[in-house]
Protein backbone atom coordinates (compact mmCIF):
# COMPACT_ATOMS: atom_id res chain seq x y z
CA UNK A 1 0.00 0.00 0.00
CA UNK A 2 2.83 2.35 0.84
CA UNK A 3 4.40 1.78 -2.59
CA UNK A 4 1.08 2.62 -4.26
CA UNK A 5 0.85 5.88 -2.30
CA UNK A 6 4.39 6.84 -3.31
CA UNK A 7 3.62 5.98 -6.92
CA UNK A 8 0.44 8.08 -6.89
CA UNK A 9 2.23 11.01 -5.23
CA UNK A 10 5.07 10.76 -7.76
CA UNK A 11 2.65 10.60 -10.71
CA UNK A 12 0.64 13.54 -9.37
CA UNK A 13 3.81 15.60 -8.87
CA UNK A 14 4.89 15.00 -12.46
CA UNK A 15 1.49 15.49 -14.05
CA UNK A 16 0.34 18.60 -12.18
CA UNK A 17 2.68 21.06 -13.96
CA UNK A 18 1.72 19.59 -17.34
CA UNK A 19 -1.99 19.88 -16.56
CA UNK A 20 -1.60 23.46 -15.35
CA UNK A 21 0.37 24.38 -18.45
CA UNK A 22 -2.18 22.84 -20.80
CA UNK A 23 -5.04 24.50 -18.96
CA UNK A 24 -3.41 27.90 -19.40
CA UNK A 25 -2.93 27.43 -23.15
CA UNK A 26 -5.51 28.79 -25.50
CA UNK A 27 -6.03 27.23 -28.87
CA UNK A 28 -5.37 29.58 -31.77
CA UNK A 29 -6.71 28.80 -35.22
CA UNK A 30 -4.11 27.82 -37.81
CA UNK A 31 -3.92 30.72 -40.25
CA UNK A 32 -3.59 29.97 -43.96
CA UNK A 33 -1.76 32.37 -46.25
CA UNK A 34 -3.92 31.47 -49.26
CA UNK A 35 -7.30 31.42 -47.49
CA UNK A 36 -6.88 34.03 -44.75
CA UNK A 37 -3.95 36.37 -45.41
CA UNK A 38 -3.77 36.83 -49.17
CA UNK A 39 -7.43 37.97 -49.46
CA UNK A 40 -6.68 40.73 -46.94
CA UNK A 41 -3.68 41.83 -48.99
CA UNK A 42 -5.74 41.85 -52.19
CA UNK A 43 -8.46 43.96 -50.57
CA UNK A 44 -6.24 46.37 -48.66
CA UNK A 45 -2.68 46.38 -50.01
CA UNK A 46 -2.02 45.26 -53.57
CA UNK A 47 -3.51 48.33 -55.26
CA UNK A 48 -0.50 50.30 -54.03
CA UNK A 49 2.05 47.53 -53.49
CA UNK A 50 2.14 45.96 -56.96
CA UNK A 51 4.66 46.63 -59.73
CA UNK A 52 5.18 48.58 -61.80
CA UNK A 53 2.77 51.46 -61.11
CA UNK A 54 1.67 51.02 -57.51
CA UNK A 55 2.55 54.08 -55.44
CA UNK A 56 3.64 52.00 -52.47
CA UNK A 57 5.72 49.77 -54.72
CA UNK A 58 7.42 52.78 -56.32
CA UNK A 59 8.30 54.27 -52.92
CA UNK A 60 9.36 51.12 -51.07
CA UNK A 61 9.90 48.34 -53.60
CA UNK A 62 7.46 46.19 -51.62
CA UNK A 63 5.46 43.89 -53.89
CA UNK A 64 2.60 42.21 -52.01
CA UNK A 65 1.25 40.36 -55.02
CA UNK A 66 2.68 36.98 -54.04
CA UNK A 67 4.07 35.17 -51.03
CA UNK A 68 7.54 35.05 -52.56
CA UNK A 69 7.67 38.77 -53.35
CA UNK A 70 6.34 39.64 -49.89
CA UNK A 71 9.14 37.70 -48.23
CA UNK A 72 11.71 39.54 -50.37
CA UNK A 73 10.71 42.64 -48.43
CA UNK A 74 11.23 46.24 -49.45
CA UNK A 75 14.23 48.40 -50.27
CA UNK A 76 14.48 48.95 -46.51
CA UNK A 77 14.72 45.25 -45.69
CA UNK A 78 12.40 42.44 -44.61
CA UNK A 79 8.84 43.33 -43.65
CA UNK A 80 8.13 39.99 -41.98
CA UNK A 81 10.06 38.25 -39.23
CA UNK A 82 8.50 34.75 -39.21
CA UNK A 83 7.54 33.79 -35.67
CA UNK A 84 7.89 37.35 -34.36
CA UNK A 85 4.94 39.62 -35.08
CA UNK A 86 6.17 42.13 -32.50
CA UNK A 87 9.23 42.98 -34.63
CA UNK A 88 7.70 42.55 -38.09
CA UNK A 89 7.36 45.82 -39.97
CA UNK A 90 4.11 44.63 -41.54
CA UNK A 91 2.53 44.13 -38.12
CA UNK A 92 3.90 47.41 -36.77
CA UNK A 93 2.28 49.26 -39.67
CA UNK A 94 -1.15 47.66 -39.53
CA UNK A 95 -1.29 47.73 -35.72
CA UNK A 96 -0.49 51.44 -35.61
CA UNK A 97 2.93 51.08 -34.02
CA UNK A 98 4.89 52.77 -36.84
CA UNK A 99 4.27 56.43 -36.05
CA UNK A 100 4.08 58.69 -39.10
CA UNK A 101 4.06 55.77 -41.53
CA UNK A 102 0.91 54.41 -39.90
CA UNK A 103 -0.79 57.80 -40.11
CA UNK A 104 0.13 58.09 -43.80
CA UNK A 105 -1.49 54.71 -44.47
CA UNK A 106 -4.66 55.68 -42.63
CA UNK A 107 -5.01 58.91 -44.59
CA UNK A 108 -4.91 57.10 -47.94
CA UNK A 109 -6.70 53.87 -47.09
CA UNK A 110 -9.42 52.46 -44.92
CA UNK A 111 -7.71 50.96 -41.85
CA UNK A 112 -7.76 47.21 -41.36
CA UNK A 113 -10.35 45.77 -39.03
CA UNK A 114 -9.35 44.30 -35.68
CA UNK A 115 -10.03 40.85 -37.12
CA UNK A 116 -7.76 41.44 -40.12
CA UNK A 117 -4.99 42.74 -37.87
CA UNK A 118 -5.32 39.66 -35.64
CA UNK A 119 -5.19 37.32 -38.65
CA UNK A 120 -1.94 38.93 -39.81
CA UNK A 121 -0.50 38.86 -36.30
CA UNK A 122 -1.31 35.17 -35.83
CA UNK A 123 -0.02 34.26 -39.29
CA UNK A 124 3.36 35.89 -38.65
CA UNK A 125 3.48 34.50 -35.11
CA UNK A 126 2.80 31.01 -36.47
CA UNK A 127 5.79 31.31 -38.80
CA UNK A 128 4.35 33.11 -41.85
CA UNK A 129 4.07 29.89 -43.84
CA UNK A 130 2.96 29.65 -47.46
CA UNK A 131 0.03 27.37 -46.74
- Domain membership flag for residue 17: no
Query: Is the CB of residue 50 less than 8 Å from the CB of residue 63?
Result: yes
In a domain, 6, yes or no: no
Residue 109 inside a domain? The answer is yes
Residue 97 within a domain: yes
pLDDT at res. 116: 96
CB of 44 closer than 8 Å to CB of 108: no
Range of the domain at 82: 33-125
Q: How many domains does the chain have?
A: 1
Residue 131: inside a domain, yes or no?
A: no
- Band (pLDDT 50/70/90 cuts) for residue 28 is confident
Band (pLDDT 50/70/90 cuts) for residue 15 is very low
Is 25 among the domain residues?
A: no
Amino acid sequence: MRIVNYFLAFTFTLSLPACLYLASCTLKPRISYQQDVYPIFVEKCTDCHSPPYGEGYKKTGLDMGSYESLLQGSIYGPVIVPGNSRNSTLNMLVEGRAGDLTRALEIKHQPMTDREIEVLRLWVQQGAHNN
